[in-house]
């Protein structure tokens, strides 16, 4: 019993080093879980895999296409990490070699939709910037005197 109490205390004291610590009680008994943050490289690779799975779903890729798209995305990520990003034209031309005519159209449509969303998002960011008050007197001037 003392060992269990000691283990729980150690877990709580170690919680500052981790992003999440959880204790749960369920049908299977009591459990302790720790979510350790992963490195940036692993996070980027998960992002690549998420993109591959999303493209597989959206473009209805077959298994050989999934392998080719994954290798292309990994290559692009590696080049980006080395500081020499893959030009968009090269990426798009290599994607065209992988995809069928119908998939190419879906892929181009996805890009068009994303381009329409991105400028709107950028304008929202511009609109949400802090507005500087004009040089005339404001209601807060007496606070700063």
- pLDDT at position 67 is 93
Residue 65 has pLDDT above 60, yes or no: yes
Query: 15, 21 in Cβ contact below 8 A?
Result: yes
Query: 114, 54 in Cβ contact below 8 A?
Result: no
Burial of 9 (0-12, 13-18, 19+ CB in 10 A): exposed
- Residues 23-44 pLDDT 10s: 666 666 666 666 555 556 566 6
């Amino acid at each position: 019993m003392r060992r269990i109490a000691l283990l729980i205390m150690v877990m709580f004291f170690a919680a500052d080093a981790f992003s999440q610590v959880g204790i749960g009680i369920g049908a299977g008994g009591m459990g302790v879980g720790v979510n350790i943050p992963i490195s940036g490289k692993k996070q980027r690779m998960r992002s690549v895999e998420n993109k591959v799975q999303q493209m597989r779903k959206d473009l209805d890729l077959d298994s050989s296409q999934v392998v080719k798209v994954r290798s292309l995305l990994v290559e692009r990520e590696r080049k980006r990490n080395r500081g020499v990003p893959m030009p968009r034209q090269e990426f798009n031309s290599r994607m065209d070699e992988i995809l069928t005519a119908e998939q190419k159209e879906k892929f181009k449509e996805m890009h068009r939709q994303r381009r329409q969303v991105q400028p709107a998002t950028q304008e929202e960011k511009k609109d949400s910037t802090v507005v500087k008050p004009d040089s005339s007197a404001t209601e807060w001037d007496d606070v700063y005197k």
